[in-house]
Amino acid sequence: MVGEKSVQSIRGMNDLLPGQIETWQRVESAVREVCCRYGYREIRTPIVERTELFRRSIGEQTDIVEKEMYTFTDNNGDSLTLRPEATASCVRAGNQHGLLHNQTQRLWYVGPMFRHERPQKGRYRQFHQFGIEALGWAGSDIEAEVIAAGERLWRSLGIKDLTLEINSLGSVAARANFRDALKTYLSDHVDALDTDSQRRLERNPLRILDSKDEGTQEVLDSAPSLSDFLEKAEEENFERLQRLLTTVNITFSVNTRLVRGLDYYTGLVFEWTTDQLGAQSAICAGGRYDGLVEQLGGRAVPATGFACGLERLIELVALQGEETPIQSPRVFVASLGDIPELEAIRHAESLRDAGIDAQVNCGQGNLKKQLRRADNSGAQVAVIIDDESVDTSTVKIKPLRGQGEQGTVPAAELLATVRSITGLSD
């Protein structure tokens, strides 16, 4: 039969291979540690949710809902969507399980998200986010905590030079007033706007603040500012947050044009960016979303959170140049002959019982071949068992990384010898 064409993965959805996964595991452990340090607890929600969940939370007129969702009808005729983000799912789960009933919740999650965007470096159709969501607190104290947790994660991974920008969008009412004023102003300058912004003017004028177009930026320079529309309490809260951040030595700047691509934000929004990754510069972003719990059928519960793009974060970690050690066994067990093979598997199991990572030679082969495999495995020590070893109840031990000469020891001393060569304590 002529070879069939091999099946490839879907564009924008990547495999994470051994050799890459070690850095992912290191970052995920750092995430877990930082979340624990702040008293956040992990939540895992399904990857597929009802489409309605995202329509009602992210917003009908956002890019995500309008054109990026993987939506399908299942066999029951229900419209389902691969989650494009997890904030809505956390809130849904909170409502569904009564987690917000006279309680507050500090939650975190990590997992794949799906958006049908044009794939490029740093932008994928299946990507991973780590996020935290603090549900039940209204003040700047929790906002500072959430931001400090992010900063601690960057620090723990040795990442420097991220830029943190913050802004306050104010209440829904404040934003509506600003939106009207901005729309009126921009309508008077419509010819000077880029085409994307012209398209957004009617339905989503706030997103125009995001435009990178120089002409549009110039028009925006004289536009009304969101900060002029904040109510007194909102302004005070925002100032208090800035004091809290300064107190814990977090550097930030206020960018009054910072808006977000999801509709659920109220009050604080923030974003960490880098200049080291080209166009996809946003590493982590979030803010306050006080209306969402109620919007999804719960009581009014204030909330704040962020999500971080792990592919981008990991790219930054890789740029630090610090290699993550590749996972390899400590011991490789080689054997020559039928009876030695039985001994080999027995010894390997007792090493594993003692907590030592051991790989057994599979597929037989002469000694030279087996030692080459031992070397390629990355093990520190090869244990060799032949007929002579069986007859004399011994094993041959060959250090593979320059920790001394090959020798023979009683089989009963295998564990102690491996420990001593590889520097493990009992």
**Interacting residues with ligand HAM (CB under 6 A):** 85, 87, 115, 117, 123-124, 127, 129, 131, 133, 261-262, 282-287, 289, 305-307, 309, 311-312
The token pair at 239 is 């100032």
The nearer residue to ligand HAM, 115 or 373, going by C-beta atoms, is 115
Smallest gap, in angstroms, from Cβ of residue 159 to ligand HAM? 13
CB atoms inside a 10 Å sphere around CB 369: 13
Rama region for 404: left / alpha / beta (φ>0; ψ in -120 to 50; rest): left
- Mapping DSSP to helix (H, G, I), strand (E, B) and coil, where does residue 114 land? strand
Within 10 Å of residue 325's Cβ, how many Cβ atoms?
Answer: 8
CB closer to ligand HAM out of 133 and 143: 133
Q: Choose among 68, 40, 121: nearest CA to 262.
A: 68
User: Which one, 265 or 332, has the nearer CB to ligand HAM?
Assistant: 265
Shortest distance in whole angstroms from residue 35 CB to ligand HAM: 14
Helices 414-422 and 338-353: crossing angle, nearest 10°? 60
Would you say 312 or 330 has its CB closer to ligand HAM? 312
- Taking CA atoms, 270 is separated from 150, 208, 252, in Å, by 11, 17, 10
Minimum distance from residue 358 beta carbon to ligand HAM (Å): 38
Distance between CA atoms of residues 306 and 107, nearest Å: 11
Residue with smaller CB distance to ligand HAM, 68 or 234: 68
Q: Which is nearer to ligand HAM, 120 or 364 (CB)?
A: 120
| CB of 115 or CB of 200, closer to ligand HAM | 115
Helix, strand, coil percentages for the chain (3-state, nearest 5)? 40, 20, 40
- The residue number with the shortest CB distance to ligand HAM is 309
CB of 125 to ligand HAM, least distance (A): 7
Tell the smallest beta-carbon distance from residue 393 to ligand HAM (Å).
58
Cβ-based nearer residue to ligand HAM, 238 or 289: 289
CB neighbour burial string for 220-245, b if at least 16 within 10 angstroms, e if fewer: beebbebeebbeeebeebbeebbebb
- Nearest distance in Å: CB 70, ligand HAM: 12
CB of 216 to ligand HAM, least distance (A): 21
Query: Is 78:87 a contact under the CB 8 Å cutoff?
Result: no
- Measured CA angle at 120 (ends 118, 124), to 5 deg: 70
- How is residue 120 annotated by DSSP? B
Nearest to 126 by CA among 313, 310, 282: 310
Task: Tell me whether residue 85 or residue 151 sits nearer to ligand HAM (CB atom).
Answer: 85
Pair 396, 389: CB distance under 8 Å: yes
Distance, in Å, from the CA atom of 255 to the CA atom of 205, rounded to the nearest integer, reads: 17
CB of 20 to ligand HAM, least distance (A): 15
CB of 325 to ligand HAM, least distance (A): 26
